[in-house]
Amino acid sequence: MSGIIKLLSDAVANQIAAGEVVQRPSSIVKELLENSIDAGATHIKLLIKDGGSTLVQVIDNGKGMSETDARLCWERHATSKIKKAEDLFSLHTYGFRGEAMASIAAVAQVEMKTRRHEDELGTFIRIEASECLEQNICSAPVGTSIAVKNLFYNIPARRNFLKSITVETKHIFEEFQRQAMANPQIAFSIIQSKSRSIRLSNSILERKNFGCTG
Ligand SMILES: Nc1ncnc2c1ncn2[C@@H]1O[C@H](COP(=O)(O)OP(=O)(O)OP(=O)(O)O)[C@@H](O)[C@H]1O
Ligand SMILES: [Mg+2]
């Protein structure tokens, strides 16, 4: 007798699992900043637009990724941070699940440029709803830039549940400050598409008015 249980496709499974990781734009900020910190970055720049619902971009000068890793990092359970179960008892990184990038790519339009110090050229990759649409070699500075555009563009019900730009921006600033305060050795900066910009450099907080970017 045939049953009624079906295995979900990877794309649907990723979308469901993304609900755990990505609740709002500030969740993306948290995951991307943590990845940049884990990558050994000393400078991390965050750009946001419309409370992060249109754009969250993190640019770091960390160790970057090889061409192969640039593709693999978007797969679920793909991580460079643990290899075996015992490693869970001696974690020294923020991330270890290999979930964040796969979840983000399932619910947004993503573009990444990355290059390692030892490589002459970098990798550009474009992913939408878990599907890799483009991968090319490109010129890029050492480090990684990830732009997450139009969060929940493929899940209108969840997009409608986002709060106002002001509220989502407040959540992002709180997350940004939490990470910056915990890592005073890293120079953080944040640029909002409208006007306000904050630079946190070695724990010194500066507030400046910047022109429009992003
Ligand atoms: N900014 C970055 N610079 C260099 N490597 C990165 C960067 N972001 C992600 N990676 C690589 O991609 C892998 C997957 O990232 P992802 O955030 O999905 O998983 P994770 O950080 O290992 O675990 P978690 O899901 O708990 O965050 C990382 O393990 C890391 O090797
Ligand atoms: Mg991570």
* Contact assessment for residue 196 and residue 203, using Cβ atoms and an 8 Å cutoff: no
Residue spans per domain, the chain: 15-81+95-209
Give the C-alpha separation, 10 to 130, whole Å. 8
- Residue to probe by mutation, ligand 1, list 31, 35, 144, most atoms within 8 Å of CB: 35
- Whose CA is closest to atom 4 on ligand 1? 64
Distance CA 32, CA 125 (A): 16
Q: How far is CA 28 from CA 25, 69, 85, 146, in A?
A: 5, 20, 26, 11
CB-neighbour burial class of residue 3 (10 A; exposed 0-12, middle 13-18, buried 19+) = exposed
Band (150; pLDDT cuts 50, 70, 90): very high
Name the CATH topology of 15-81+95-209.
Heat Shock Protein 90 (3.30.565)
The reported pLDDT for the residue numbered 2 is 83
Q: Over the stretch 14-28, which tens digit does the pLDDT of each residue have?
A: 888 888 899 999 999
Q: Which amino acid is at 52?
A: G
Q: Ligand 2 center to residue 23 CA distance, Å?
A: 15
Is the pTM higher than 0.75? The answer reads yes
φ, ψ of residue 161 in degrees (nearest 5): -85, -5
Q: Which spans in the chain are helix H?
A: 10-21, 25-38, 67-72, 100-106, 156-160, 165-182
